[in-house]
Structure formats: C-alpha cells, structure tokens
Structure 1
Amino acid sequence: MSWALKPFGDIASLKNGKSIKPGLSGEFPVYGANGIIGGANEWVYESSLILGRVGAYCGAVELCEGRFWPSDNTIVVQAVEDSVTLKFLYYLLKHADLNRYAGGAAQPLLTQSRLKPIEFLLPPLAVQSQIAAILSAYDDLIENNTRRIEILEEMARRLYEEWFVQFRFPGHEGVGLKESELGLIPEGWELLRLGDCMELAYGKALKAQDRVPGDYPVYGSSGVVGSHCESLVEGPGIVVGRKGNVGSVFWSDVSFFPIDTTYYVRSEVPFSYVYFNLQRQRFLNNDAAVPGLNREQAYALPFLLPDQDVLSRFSSEWERIYGLLRRLERINVNLRAQRDLLLPKLISGEIDVSDIPMPT
C-alpha cells in the first residue's frame, strides 16, 4: 500500500474543549492551550491530542494517553483507528505548523472548519507505527534524562539544606554554636548583610525587536525570554528578578544578557552558595502596581557566610553534581537536534524508515 493524501477531517474527529476554572486540583489533568493548567475530579476524554485553539499558543500540540479535561481554549483530536495511529498523528501535527491556518482579527484562532480540509500525506499504518516508534524513542530518552536532571538538582538543593540550614556539614560534630539574629549558627561563621557580600547589578534594556538571535540567552524576570548575538555578562552567573517576578533566581552556565527587569550578581562568595542562598531569601515586593524588588531593601537582608573551608567543600560537591547535570543537558540538546532533523524527513517519506536505527 502506498502513501496517500487525506483530509484531516477524514482521519480524526475534532471536538472543542469545555469551560473549567484553571488552577484547581484533582486526579485528572486539565489542559489549556499551553499544556496542563490544573486538575479536575472528572474527565472528559482519554488517549487524545490537544490543540491550542486561541491566543499565543494557537496550534500547539499536546499528547495525553490517559484521561483528562480539555479547557475551552483547546480542540481535542482523536485518531480514526483504521486511518492513522495516535502517536504518528501527534508527530504529523507537531510538524504541520497549525498556527498558519489560524484566523481571527484580535488574536489567532483555530476552528474545526479551518482544520478539517487540511490534507496530510499518510503512509500505511505499519509504517506509521515504525516512524512513531523511532521518534518516541528520542522523546523517551529526553524525558528520562530530564528526570535525572531534576533528581540531580534536588540532590544539590538537599545538600545545601543539610550543610547550611541544618548545619550538618562535614566536621560539624567538632564545631560549637553561637547565638545570632537567625538563632544558633556555627562558630566561625559570620552573619552579615546581603549587601556586604554581593552587588545586585542592573540588567540592560534590550527590546525584543532589537535582539539578534544568537548563542547567548536573554534573561527576564521569568527566565530565558530569547537569545542575542552578544552577551552582557560572562558566565556562569546568577540572575535575580527585579520587575514582574520579584526575587526569582536563575543560574546561567554560559555568558548571557540580563535585561532591565533583572539584576545580575557580582560577588567574591562562591556562586554555588550564593545561588541557593538567594533562593531562600524573603525578597519583598516594593511596588503595588508593578511588582518590584528594591535593591536597598534586598541589601539589608541577613546573609549567613560560612567559613572558607566549608564553602570550598560545597563548591567541589556542586561541581561534581553539576558536571553530571550539564552532561545530561548536552545529551538532550543533541537528541532534540537529531529528532527535529529526522521528523520532517520521516513524516514526508523523504527517507526510508527501515534505514534509521533506534537512538541509544
């Protein structure tokens, strides 16, 4: 059997999602246009695709193989079993750039009437399953590495808490405790002010239209918001949210460009310690209209400075953990690049699926 062109409406059923209040909790995930937005105690569909129907995430594609509730910002897509497999349809739609079929004057809007006539080239079901298996293998490896990265991040966080919150650092048995503003702290450690130990330097304005895509991440108070051909700060470095997401803390392993809604850190204290310390600080919002972090108020916060030996040991442990984490991130970058290179060629039939080995 050869490949054949078929309208979207012939290979899948399309149904609009149902209204539900976002942010609730429950056994079943609630999907909005940008993914999971909460939970629900009831479910409406299972084993389906979810398309972003309206707004910035119009045309985004999610796969849910369990039971779920789709919000009214979505369209639910269910595969017609004798025409297309669900996993193949998922990759087919991911490649289709559905946003280009959107209408709407004020904001992008996808409708069933616009989607159903779109024609897709489909191979036989057996070939669909082979293609989906190869692409899924890449996604499974990426997901597994992502879980391992999360475990390593949690290990580093718990190590910080054990050493610098619970004071069970190497050799703590032989160190006495003394009174301080924060309570008992180890002898030989200093309780200073945050401003004594670091500078929160202002980021620099860089509007989206002025950015030239490049190798350097651009940080706003919500994290990475783009890239640029030039950096402002040499990495590794720490970014702190100044406007918007007040007190958010991000680590950049590479040189980066922090925009004017952020601060970046200058300090002689090891960044590995500063990073976790800042995450535990209680930064205050100083502006009722637009959330803002006042630098002088931040500088007045207490900052516990351990002795140099403990800091050096922690930095060594951090480097060991973070080295493994970086390696997994690099592997994921390569896996995504390979998958994204293969996807259009497999989906279009440009290359024979039998010629592609499974990723390892």
Structure 2
Amino acid sequence: MKWEKVRLGDVTDSCLGKMLDKEKNRGEYQLYLSNKDVRWGSFDLEHLDLMKFEEHEEERYGVRYGDLIVCEGGEPGRCAIWKDQIPNMKIQKALHRVRVHEGLDYRFLYYWFLWAGKRGELQQYFTGATIKHMPGDKLKSVIIAKPDIETQRQIADVLSAYDDLIENNQKQIKLLEEAAQRLYKEWFVDFRFPGHEDTEIVDGVPDGWKKGNVGHLFKTVLGGTPSRNIADYWGGDIPWINSGEVNKLRIIKESEFITERGLNNSSTKLMPKHTTVLAITGATLGQVSYTEIETCANQSVVGVYDETGEYSAYIYLCITNEIKKIISEAIGGAQQHINKEVVNKFEILLPSFDVNERMKAIVVPMFDKITNLYFEIERLSEARDRLLPKLMSGEIEL
C-alpha cells in the first residue's frame, strides 16, 4: 500500500497560544496549558495557572476535543490529544494547537508524532543552538506519510487500545493515592485515628506519639553523580536516578545504571527499597516519589527512609502531604532550591507503633496495588512501542 506524503500545514490548522504578559493582557482569568503541563500522550492538570483572555480570543486560543497540543520548546514535538478534561481550556505561547482537516485522523497524527519523536525525526525541524524550538513555520513544514483514512483509523484503534488501558490504570492509581492521602489527613492531621476518643492530647501531641525532626527520626541521604569521564563508573547494574525522574508516584525501573566502582568513588549513596525521594532543585523541585527498587540518585535528590522499614509508608504520606511547607524555605532566583539540612530539620509527628500498624494494614495493600498498576503500565507501553514502528511504517497491514 502506498502512503501519501503531505505537509502538516496542508492537512491541519495550527496556531501558537497566547503570550503571558500581565501588563498587557485583558479580559477574564481562565485556566491555560503551558509547556510543563504536556506529557507524551497525557496532561498534568494538577497545577494549572491562570491568564486573562478576552471574548474575541476564545476561538484562537481555545482548544477542542481532538486537538493535538504540541510543545514548541522544551522538548519540541512532545504532544497529547485534548479530550475535554476541563472545559474552556486555553493554551499559552509555548504550545501549538493542531486541528486536523477531514481525511486525517487526530489519533493517527498523535502516533505519528510519537513515532517521529522516538526516532529523532523531528529534530530537522528545530531551531536554536542550545535551547531547541519548533516555531509555527517549521511545524507546518513537517512532512508526514499517511494512508487512507480507514487505515489511519484501524492503526489508531489498535494503538489506542493500549493507551486506553494505560489511562484506566493511571486513573486507578490516582484514586488509590487520593484514598491514602485522605486517610493520612484524617488520622495524622485531624487526629481522628482509631482510638482517638480515649487518647489524651498534650501540647498538640497524642499520648504515645512523639515530635521530632526528619533527620533525627529517620535516615536522610543526598545523592551524587559519578564522574561521566570514567567509563567503568557507568553501565553496571546499580540503578541511578536524577531529579527529572522524581515526577511519578512509584519508581520501579531506571534507564541509567552505575557500577560498584562508580558507587564507591562518588558521593552518591544506596537507598533501600521503599525510600521516599524528593527533588530539591530545578523544575521538579518538590516532586516526591516512592522507590520500589534499591537505587541511588544524583545530587538534586534527597532520600528519606526508616532503617527498620516500619514507618516507610508513613514517611511517604507525611512528606507528600507536607512538601509545600518543606520547599517554602527554597532560595535562589531562576533556580529555586533547598538543601538536605532543610529536610533534616523539618519537624513532624511520629505516630505510636499501634496506630502506625493499623495504618499500614490499610495503606500498604494500596501501595502494592499502585506498584502493580505501574508494572502493568510499563508492559502495555512496551507492547505498544513494539507495534508502533511496524504499524506507522506500513510494515504490518491491517
């Protein structure tokens, strides 16, 4: 089957979002998507910002179901399909809105971008020596190969079946995480834990609990990076993470590994399974994850763990709940950061052994379910990615 090669500008309408200018912008405040909110195939809608938009700008900067939202900078070409997750959404200038014409399936176009991004094919359309961008004229000049519309839909149906399952797992993860956080708030913030009616509270501390600093109660570890100039420091079997990877609830596998020699000759330290890790600098400042593997990390990550393992789940729930207070001490201009000592001196309450055990009986199965869902997402993603090049190249005909 011969596929037609077309310019993206001939089969879609596209435009950049609105420039954020607090002095000049007029209208009513509305939510908008920025570059940081767009992932491959999904959106992070937890921390959206507001910008003023006027009524006549609704059509130009508004997004509809089926629009492809494409990053102009950061990681140019990274994109996701908008599915009306939030009504009346707008976009900021760092994003392109791409709307397909008749004869082009928006899902097929997304998978073309995903495939092209994995192969590095989009780089020929980037500008800039150090900071890469894909401006509007370059986006319009992108050449894609497309089969007839029915074949496009069949390809999209196969690939989106995997992504639909992934999305369903992600929703389940979100619900489980929210349930665990609600329990934390009820038991450890509002003090409505089992037996609270008969527990005396003195100076804000329930009987049998204790107050202390994170660094006094638990073990804290600052990461480090083995020298990149020494080859046998890298490529071993010890997982190593950076702060950019601390953006998911569970860390179950890593792409970089160091050797034992690299570990012994650097400031990075091993952190056991079930360590709570938090990013302490840069764009991911304040992100918190929970490791399901023994790992080490770079110097932008602090790990907190209980050497006995008894309070591992509590540490994660506590740090996640209190992270805004912890990073409120961040310093710096463009590159905000905290250090290990800020984490060490942060004061928390440690529940009694009995209350912690009752919490674990409820929360740990939730954590196990979340971990299993992450592994399932990995398997589905790998299966989809094996099919992606075969379908998008026409190697497999449907």
| One-letter amino acid of the structure 1 residue matched with residue 201 of structure 2 | K
The residue number in structure 1 matching 2:370 is 325
Q: Give TM-score, length-normalised by structure 1.
A: 0.81
Task: Specify whether residues 95 and 214 from structure 1 end up closer, same or farther in structure 2 by C-alpha distance, changes over 3 A only.
Answer: farther
Stretches of structure 1 that go unaligned for 5 or more consecutive residues are 354-360
The residue number in structure 2 matching 1:356 is none
Deviation at 1:216? Answer: 2.5
Task: Specify whether residues 270 and 112 from structure 1 end up closer, same or farther in structure 2 by C-alpha distance, changes over 3 A only.
Answer: closer
Task: Specify whether residues 89 and 248 from structure 1 end up closer, same or farther in structure 2 by C-alpha distance, changes over 3 A only.
Answer: closer
Give the distance between the partners of 1:213 and 1:112, measured in 2 at CA: 43
3-state secondary structure, aligned to 2:74: helix
| Residue among 242, 262, 273 paired with 2:314 | 273
The residue number in structure 1 matching 2:267 is none
| One-letter amino acid of the structure 2 residue matched with residue 219 of structure 1 | N
What are the Cα deviations for residues 70-125 of structure 1, in whole angstroms up to 9, with x where unaligned? Answer: 433344333231x3222222212321232333233453333555455554332221
| Residue among 97, 102, 110 paired with 1:76 | 97
Deviation at 1:146? Answer: 0.4
Question: In the alignment, is residue 234 of structure 1 matched against residue 243 of structure 2?
Answer: no
Task: Specify whether residues 218 and 124 from structure 1 end up closer, same or farther in structure 2 by C-alpha distance, changes over 3 A only.
Answer: same
1:173-212 equivalences in 2 (<5 Å): 173=197, 175-180=198-203, 183=204, 185-206=205-226, 212=235
Give the distance between the partners of 1:296 and 1:122, measured in 2 at CA: 55
The residue number in structure 2 matching 1:285 is 329
The residue number in structure 1 matching 2:381 is 336
| One-letter amino acid of the structure 1 residue matched with residue 183 of structure 2 | L
| One-letter amino acid of the structure 2 residue matched with residue 285 of structure 1 | E
Structure 1 vs Structure 2 CA RMSD: 3.4
Give the distance between the partners of 1:286 and 1:34, measured in 2 at CA: 22
Stretches of structure 2 that go unaligned for 5 or more consecutive residues are 249-253, 264-269
The residue number in structure 2 matching 1:223 is 246
| One-letter amino acid of the structure 1 residue matched with residue 115 of structure 2 | H
Task: Specify whether residues 135 and 209 from structure 1 end up closer, same or farther in structure 2 by C-alpha distance, changes over 3 A only.
Answer: farther
Give the distance between the partners of 1:253 and 1:199, measured in 2 at CA: 17
| One-letter amino acid of the structure 2 residue matched with residue 149 of structure 1 | I
1:38-57 equivalences in 2 (<5 Å): 38=49, 42-44=58-60, 46=64, 47-53=66-72, 55-57=73-75
The residue number in structure 1 matching 2:11 is 12
What are the Cα deviations for residues 127-165 of structure 1, in whole angstroms up to 9, with x where unaligned? Answer: 211111222222111111101100000111111222222
The residue number in structure 2 matching 1:149 is 173
Whether the aligned pair in 1 keeps the contact of 2:8 and 2:144 (CA below 8 Å) is no
Q: Give TM-score, length-normalised by structure 2.
A: 0.74
The residue number in structure 1 matching 2:266 is none
Whether the aligned pair in 1 keeps the contact of 2:243 and 2:301 (CA below 8 Å) is yes
Whether the aligned pair in 2 keeps the contact of 1:33 and 1:60 (CA below 8 Å) is no
Give the distance between the partners of 1:133 and 1:28, measured in 2 at CA: 31
Task: Specify whether residues 91 and 215 from structure 1 end up closer, same or farther in structure 2 by C-alpha distance, changes over 3 A only.
Answer: farther
Whether the aligned pair in 2 keeps the contact of 1:48 and 1:64 (CA below 8 Å) is yes
3-state secondary structure, aligned to 1:56: coil
| Residue among 107, 132, 142 paired with 1:108 | 132
Question: In the alignment, is residue 302 of structure 1 matched against residue 347 of structure 2?
Answer: yes
Question: In the alignment, is residue 253 of structure 1 matched against residue 276 of structure 2?
Answer: no
Deviation at 1:307? Answer: 1.7
Larger C-alpha radius of gyration, 1 or 2? 1
| One-letter amino acid of the structure 2 residue matched with residue 308 of structure 1 | F
Whether the aligned pair in 2 keeps the contact of 1:149 and 1:325 (CA below 8 Å) is yes
Higher mean C-alpha deviation, range 337-346 or range 256-265: 256-265
Whether the aligned pair in 1 keeps the contact of 2:240 and 2:298 (CA below 8 Å) is no
Task: Specify whether residues 52 and 131 from structure 1 end up closer, same or farther in structure 2 by C-alpha distance, changes over 3 A only.
Answer: same
Give the distance between the partners of 1:144 and 1:286, measured in 2 at CA: 36
Give the distance between the partners of 1:116 and 1:296, measured in 2 at CA: 50
3-state secondary structure, aligned to 2:357: helix
Deviation at 1:205? Answer: 2.8
Task: Specify whether residues 22 and 209 from structure 1 end up closer, same or farther in structure 2 by C-alpha distance, changes over 3 A only.
Answer: farther
Give the distance between the partners of 2:304 and 2:226, measured in 1 at CA: 19
